[in-house]
Amino acid sequence: DTEVTQTPKHLVMGMTNKKSLKCEQHMGHRAMYWYKQKAKKPPELMFVYSYEKLSINESVPSRFSPECPNSSLLNLHLHALQPEDSALYLCASSQTLSVYGYTFGSGTRLTVV
């Protein structure tokens, strides 16, 4: 298995809702990442997990809450989002915090109404 699987592919949520994005990989990778990508822009790093521990939070608002329950799974919990949070959310993984290439998932397209 050489894939990063993200679910759901599309999500529409209201500003008072609570929802979660899920990311799963079975490649034995120990580093996992959340990126946010707005239209016609490059991805922006949000969070980095290394060996299930949060390594980096790029000053992301607390309405985004990451969780890494095990080495294969990464969640992003969403609460009280704003319309400007609408974007493509990408998950990625790599063997470790190395420079030898990430594997990206296909993303979750989030719309906040």
Report which of 46, 48, 87, 98 is spatially closest to residue 68, judged by C-alpha positions. Answer: 48
Query: Which CB atom, from 22 or from 63, has the smaller least distance to another protein?
Result: 22
Q: Residue 83: what are its φ and ψ, rounded to 5°?
A: -55, -30
Stretch of 14-22, 67-75, 78-86, 102-110 contacting another protein, by CB under 8 A: 102-110
> Residues 6 or more apart from 36 whose CB is under 8 A from it?
43, 44, 46, 87, 88, 89, 90
Q: Does residue 99 belong to the site contacting another protein (CB under 8 A)? A: yes
- Which ranges constitute the DSSP H helices of 3-80? none
Binding residue for another protein (CB under 8 A) from 32, 90, 110, 112? Answer: 90
Within 26-55, which residues bind another protein (CB under 8 A)?
31, 40-43, 45, 48
Binding site for another protein (CB under 8 A): 4, 6, 31, 40-43, 45, 48, 56, 88, 90, 92, 97-107, 109
